Structures are given as C-alpha cells and as structure tokens.
Structure 1
Amino acid sequence: MPSDSYDVARQVADRVKAAPPTLGAGRLVCIDGPGGSGKTTLSERLEAVVPGATVVHCDELLQGWDGLPGLASTVERLVTPLAAGRTGSWRRWDWLADDWAETHEVAPGGLLVLEGVGSWSPAIADLVGVLVWVEVASEVRLERGIARDGEGMRAHWERWRLEEDALFARLGTRERADVVVDTAEAARAGDSPSG
C-alpha cells in the first residue's frame, strides 16, 4: 500500500465499491488496529474521498476504559438492522461524564466506516466489505496516545495496550485483514496520522 493516507483511502474506497454490497444495500469498512496507530486519520481520509460516507468511531461505543470486551456485541447490534435494510442505532459514551449520552441513528445503504480498536469481530465478518488493519510500533502508539490524552492517562494506556493485544491475538484480526497499513511509513513521508 502507498504511504500517503489519501492514496490508501482511495484504494480502500475503490476496493469496497467494486465489490457487491455486504451490509444490505450498503457497504461496510472496518478500520481496526491498536490505539494510536492512525485509524482515525485514515477514516477521515476515507470520509473525504467518499462523500456521504458515515463514520462511527468505536471509542464512542465503549463503556469507558473497561468497555473493550463488550464492544463486539454493541457493533453487532448496530450493523444487524442495517444488513436487513433497517435503520441502525448506537449510543455515545461520554468519556468526560463517564456515562452513556445521546443515541445516534445510521440509515441503511451507503458506506459505513467503523473505526477503532475492536471494530471488527468474527460476529460481523460476513458483513464487512473491507477490513483495514492499521499499525505502527508500540512505543510510537504510546507516545501518540500520551501526546493526545496527557501524561495523567499513561496508566490507562499501558493497561489498554495489554487488553487490545490480547483481543487481537484471540481474534487474529491482522491476519484476516484485506489491507495492512503501517503508518510509520506515512509519518516518514510527512503524512502523520495520530488516531
């Protein structure tokens, strides 16, 4: 894959649009990989190259720092109605209030991009048109996370990295990916993803 995230986004968009719909009349891209690897940046690029795409950031579907184990079922509840041609919905986790907030609806059809750690799982594998795995070295991810969230969040980041490593090892997410992106190459080329 090219190192420029816009080029990657265009290739992912072309790939998912060339394939038959997998989410009812719509299509689904999952951008997965460890925290701080650059998934958010790639999802923003994909949204820019596919006007009208809906992006859902899975960190808004987590019940806080301990929510990773429940994410797969939350994602499944969102996409199952969409696969049947009905409106899907999800409820946003408010990290500052440490509680659930408003509910959002997703209309069927079009392109849905799920971005975040654990966005893909075997439960929805048959609905995913393209699974993108985004990676970078662990120390770079930690540096990006601390830069974004502050030094006070280091303990959370350290624990989170162990939990996501265990999840990815159990699911074999990287091995199942259609596209693998190393964002260290993008950073060297001057395109520095942070999410």
Structure 2
Amino acid sequence: APSRSSADPVATALDAAVGHLVRAVTAVAASNPVVLVDGRSGAGKSSLAHTLVARWPLPGRVQSVALDSIYPGWDGLDEGVGLAREQILVPHARGLMGVWQRWDWDVGAPAEAHAVDPALPLIVEGVGILTPATAGLGDVRVWLESPTASRRQRALVRDGDGYRPHWERWARQEERHLQRDEPARLATHVFAVP
C-alpha cells in the first residue's frame, strides 16, 4: 500500500530506514533484541523509534526509552547516556530488571521510576547513545545523518521556544560526542535523513 510519506522526503527516508531495521531485528534471531538509535538533535530519532515500534516484527511488546526523558538538564548529555547504560542497557544484557527515573524538565529534578523488562525487546533512542561503552550492548545500532538546517528547523518546530536558547549549548555536547565516540563508525546501519 502507498505510504502517506510519499510526499514528505523525511518521512519517506525514515520509512525506508524502518524497513531495513525490521529485517535487521528479525535477523538477530532473539526474542529480546536491543536497538540503539543515535543522531543529532532533530535528525529523526524519535520518529524512527515510534515507527519501528508500530512495525515491530516480533510477537509481543517492545519497550522504547527516549533519552530525552533521562538527560538531567541541558548540560546532561553525557550523564544521561551513562545513566541509560548503567540503569537500562547493562541490566537488560544481564537478564536483570532495569529501573530508570524520568527527568522532569519543568522542575529540574528526577521524577517517577520506570522498569525495563529484560525478557522484552528494547529500543533506546537519543543523542549520545552510541559510544564504545554502549555499542556492545546493542544488537542493531543506528546512526541518523541529517543536515544542520533541517535538523534545527524540525527540533525548533517540535520543541519551540523552550529549546531555542539552548540549541548551541546542546550542539556543543553533540560535537564532543561525535569527536570522542565516532558514533557513525559504531553503527550497524547509517541512514541519511534530508
């Protein structure tokens, strides 16, 4: 059936990427594979993760965690990735229940806790999730590459004026991640998003 994305090049690119990832997840041949999705702000990580959840090829439920719910504030990229590794990815790999706390951006403090079931598949998406310390914990590892102008426009439309004053501050943390971790080299799949 024709996709609604046919007139939207971003949606078309993400739809094609999800098609590849559905096959990759199936090829893992495990009941609880882990998918890591990285890319700079506005690259399409959340949209890709939501679409992958909707088209998940394995029976049962898939868990999805966005690092935007974990980063402890506008200077917390590295800390958020560390928390995701220690509280979600490592326990999942060991067959243990993981527990992470949502960061409440409005009050600037941790909020309620969420459990991650090691028996279920898992998608973790967010800037910084592909590092040498996390790559071995992901069966399918994705890097989304997208031009700065497009990313910025999408991110500011999505998050509005609350993000605008922090764009450069966050971008500097992304740059450090790219220089230090080379996430595209750690990915099993690299997709271009217009």
Q: Per the shorter chain, which TM-score range?
A: 0.7 to 0.9
SS in 2 for 1:65: coil
Q: What are the within-5 Å matches in structure 2 for residues 41-190 of structure 1?
A: 41-50=47-56, 52-77=61-86, 78-151=88-161, 153-184=163-194
For residues 25-69 of structure 1, give each alpha carbon's deviation from its aligned partner in whole angstroms, at most 9, with x where no partner exists: 621111101000111100001000115111100111100111112
SS in 2 for 1:64: coil
SS in 1 for 2:54: helix
How far residue 163 of structure 1 moved from its aligned partner, in angstroms, is 1.3
Q: Hey, what's the Cα distance between the residues in 1 that align with 2:135 and 2:121?
A: 16
Give me the TM-score of the superposition, normalised by structure 1: 0.85
For residues 42-101 of structure 1, give each alpha carbon's deviation from its aligned partner in whole angstroms, at most 9, with x where no partner exists: 000100011511110011110011111212321121121111111111110011121110
The corresponding residue for 2:34 is 28
For residues 154-175 of structure 1, give each alpha carbon's deviation from its aligned partner in whole angstroms, at most 9, with x where no partner exists: 2201211121011111100012
Conserved 8 A contact 2:18-2:48:
yes
Give me the TM-score of the superposition, normalised by structure 2: 0.85
Distance 1:152-1:110 versus aligned 2 partners, 3 A rule: closer
Q: How many residues align?
A: 180
- Paired residue for 1:38, among 44, 50, 53? 44
Equivalent residue letter for 1:126 = G
The corresponding residue for 2:6 is none
SS in 1 for 2:170: helix
* Unaligned segments of structure 1, at least 5 residues: 185-195
Distance 1:152-1:20 versus aligned 2 partners, 3 A rule: closer
Distance 1:4-1:97 versus aligned 2 partners, 3 A rule: same
- Paired residue for 1:12, among 9, 21, 25? 21
SS in 2 for 1:103: strand
How far residue 152 of structure 1 moved from its aligned partner, in angstroms, is 5.1
Conserved 8 A contact 1:133-1:180:
yes
Conserved 8 A contact 1:145-1:157:
no
For residues 140-188 of structure 1, give each alpha carbon's deviation from its aligned partner in whole angstroms, at most 9, with x where no partner exists: 111122222223532201211121011111100012211111221xxxx
Q: Hey, what's the Cα distance between the residues in 1 that align with 2:122 and 2:185?
A: 22
